[in-house]
Amino acid sequence: MSLPAELPEIPQRELRNDASRVLREVRAGQGYTITVDGTPVADLVPHRHLNRRVAVPREEVITAFAGLPAGAERWREDLDEAVDDSLYDPYDRAHRRGEFAPRDDR
């Protein structure tokens, strides 16, 4: 689902008086710009579900590129060197190494 650059406007009064219809239309994919006294104040758009993928597992990427032509192995080695796919927060690791020791601001 993609929304147009400009959403149709709907006055706050219409939203208040006919909320059920408007929400059914939003559920079906329609988005609106809510206005108060003709001034846009908010966009009402369909919810983006939490089960939408935001990352691709490393193994899936490697599998997708498995059939690459010659030179692909070097590319994989470069990728392994350049990409830190650990699940740790870098600031947390730095803190554990003592790099973020408390400052003495006397």
Please give the tally of structural domains in the chain.
2
Residues near 68 by Cβ (< 8 Å), separated by ≥ 6?
Answer: 75
pTM of the model: 0.44
Query: In this structure, is residue 85 part of a structural domain?
Result: yes
Query: In this structure, is residue 103 part of a structural domain?
Result: no
For the stretch 59-80, pLDDT in tens is: 888 888 877 766 767 877 888 8
Burial code (b: 16+ CB inside 10 Å, e: under 16) for 25-61 equals: beeeebbbebbeeeeeeeebeeeeeeeeeeeeeeeee
Same domain, 62 and 92: yes
Query: In this structure, is residue 69 part of a structural domain?
Result: yes
Task: Give the range of the structural domain holding residue 22, as residue numbers without chain letter.
Answer: 9-44
Query: In this structure, is residue 19 part of a structural domain?
Result: yes
> How high is the pLDDT of residue 82?
82
